[in-house]
Amino acid sequence: MAFETILTETRGKVGLITLNRPQALNALNSTLLGEVNQALDAFEADQNIGCIVITGSEKAFAAGADIKEMAELTYPHTYMADFFSGWEKVSGRRKPMIAAVAGFALGGGCEFAMMCDFIIAADNAKFGQPEIKLGVMPGMGGTQRLTRLIGRAKAMEMCLTGRMMGAEEAERSGLVARVVPLADLINDALKTADTIASMSLPIAMMTKETINRADEVSLSEGIRFERRLFHAMFATADQKEGMTAFVGKRSPEFKNG
């Protein structure tokens, strides 16, 4: 598919989306949001894709929502159009998604990365929620996701001062899963995605869904949800294959069923 603001490609069982507005440090405008959702629709519909990687450039994953597009918006417009609600479609995806972040991940860029299931960061990554400097606050889930990921004290500090956090601090704080040298970022993210894509897709999707429940419900309800889906996994051929392969000392061949 030909897009204006992103590039897409398929690497084996992995779908790769590269944000591609270098002149604006990949600022997230409405065209880009629409194109990301189109690309995600296609990857989710493609039975061969088991994991999706989203990345930017070496300089910027994304420097935020597009300030030039937002500057003149009015309250009635943002309210009536439910501005930013298209991002819920991104965060609601069911296949595993990895953000491979190099350079700036600021404002909506940090929020987009946090919508993915986990972040692999290059050592030059810089995360921040600088919206307060623009007279607004995060509007794509940042106040909620950042707080859940790094805790209240740090989330408050980040959102109230707008300061940036480097990759090492981000890893220490639980914002990113792993930090790798910039030169290794894409290969590392693709390799990680390939590992995930080699598992049973329905089992990976159920695992993602169950971990996401932890953000929504009490511990006892979350554990009940986990147990019910765990039971359901015994209705899949992939459970039989995985366990039989282990007992037979061979590699499993999952059929996504």
What residues line the site for ligand HXC (CB under 6 A)?
24-25, 27, 63-68, 104, 106-108, 130-131, 134, 136, 138-139
Q: Which is nearer to ligand HXC, 112 or 254 (CB)?
A: 112
Contacts of residue 167, defined as CB under 8 A and 6 or more positions apart, other chains included, come to 121, 122, 123, 124, 125, 126, 176, 179
For residue 160, report the phi and psi dihedrals to the nearest 5 degrees: -85, -25
**Is residue 15 within 8 Å of residue 47, measured between CB atoms?**
no
Q: Which is nearer to ligand HXC, 38 or 143 (CB)?
A: 143
Q: Which is nearer to ligand HXC, 60 or 196 (CB)?
A: 60
CB of 209 to ligand HXC, least distance (A): 27
CB of 101 to ligand HXC, least distance (A): 13
Among all residues, whose Cβ is closest to ligand HXC? 107
Which residues belong to the active site?
65, 108, 111, 131
Instruction: Report d(CA 26, CA 63) in Å as an integer.
Output: 6
How far from each other are the two terminal CA atoms of the chain, in whole angstroms? 29
CB of 67 to ligand HXC, least distance (A): 4
CB of 106 to ligand HXC, least distance (A): 4
Rounding to the nearest 10 degrees, give the CA dihedral for residues 143, 145, 146, 150.
140
Question: Burial letters for 111-131: b for 16+ Cβ neighbours within 10 Å, e otherwise?
Answer: bbbbbbbbbbbbbbbbbbbbb
- Taking residue 231's Cβ as centre, other Cβ atoms within 10 Å add up to 9
Q: Which is nearer to ligand HXC, 14 or 60 (CB)?
A: 60
